[in-house]
């Protein structure tokens, strides 16, 4: 299973590298679903673990007073300002097989990280682009009420129902969409209009 997940990580990063290599200069400055971050900040964040030795990471975490979200935002903005698009593409392509995983998250956590932030970019620029269903099954299969609760998204009174996979979560008014769109709802993102359906869909639409 670990080998299969690692293969999906490599495929995800390879596809992202190809997509980024084809971006026009202005698309690097386009907004994403990750509020306040352009494409270049998101890519800087995705590649931060590949470019940052552990001692430097812990030093930056101390400077951020132990707040990982503060560290991530500072680092993404700093690195996006100093690295050009070609350098960010190289950071993705050169680390397709990098073994990083989030603390306690294992390979599945690394895949989720890459897929979620990849969708921050693609749903903003190319909403018709799909993450393969097998990859989405791995990511959603790792979701639990506890991990979903981590994001703090208000899912009260709704049932998320995927239209392309056998996956649903919650109880209440159905909100339907592709599995990748519902993943981003769980992560607290506001989606472009037209990707979700249901009476409560407006709660999660930009």
pLDDT tens track for 38-79 = 999 999 999 999 999 999 999 999 999 999 999 999 999 999
Distance CA 79, CA 71 (A): 12
Residues of the chain with pLDDT under 70: 1
What are residue 38's DSSP bridge partners? 31
**Amino acid 145: pLDDT:** 80
Taking alpha carbons only, the member of 13, 148, 87, 127 closest to residue 158 is: 148
CA–CA dist 166, 205 (Å, integer): 23
Dihedral of CA atoms 66, 118, 53, 1 in degrees, nearest 10, equals 100
End-to-end C-alpha distance for the chain, whole angstroms: 37
How many Cβ atoms sit within 10 Å of the Cβ of residue 205? 14
Helix axis angle for 106-125 and 39-51, nearest 10°, is: 160
- Would you call 153 helix, strand, or coil by DSSP? coil
Query: Are 29 and 40 contacting, i.e. CB atoms less than 8 angstroms apart?
Result: yes
* The predicted structure's pLDDT at residue 1: 65
Supply the DSSP string of 137-206, one letter for each residue.
Answer: HHHHHT--HHHHHHTT---TTEEEEESSSS-EEESSEEEEE-HHHHHHHHTTPPBPTTS-BSTTGGGGB-
Enumerate the β-bridge partners of residue 31: 38
Nearest to 190 by CA among 157, 154, 144: 154
What would the two tokens of residue 144 be?
């639990």
d(CA 102, CA 91): 18
Half-sphere exposure at residue 191, Cβ-oriented, CA atoms within 13 angstroms: 27
Residues in the chain: 206
pTM of the shown model: 0.95
Query: DSSP character for 28?
Result: G
> What's the CA gap between 62 and 66, in Å, rounded?
5
DSSP letter, residue 83: S
């Amino acid at each position: 299973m670990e080998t299969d997940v690692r293969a999906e990580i490599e495929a995800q990063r390879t596809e992202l590298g190809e997509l980024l290599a084809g971006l026009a200069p202005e698309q690097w400055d386009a907004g994403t679903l990750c509020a306040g971050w352009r494409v270049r900040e998101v890519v800087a964040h995705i590649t931060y673990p590949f470019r940052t030795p552990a001692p430097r990471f812990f030093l930056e975490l101390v400077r951020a007073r132990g707040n990982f979200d503060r560290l991530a935002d500072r680092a993404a903005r700093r690195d996006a300002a100093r690295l050009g698009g070609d350098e960010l593409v190289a950071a993705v392509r050169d680390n397709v097989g990098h073994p990083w995983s989030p603390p306690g998250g294992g390979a599945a956590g690394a895949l989720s990280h890459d897929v979620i932030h990849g969708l921050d970019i693609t749903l903003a620029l190319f909403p018709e682009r799909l993450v393969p269903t097998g990859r989405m099954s791995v990511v959603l299969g790792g979701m639990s009420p506890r991990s979903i609760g981590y994001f703090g998204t208000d899912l009260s009174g709704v049932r998320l129902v995927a239209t392309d996979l056998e996956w649903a979560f919650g109880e209440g008014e159905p909100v339907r969409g592709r599995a990748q769109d519902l993943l981003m709802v769980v992560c607290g993102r506001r989606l472009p209009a037209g990707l979700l359906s249901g009476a409560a869909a407006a709660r999660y639409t930009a």
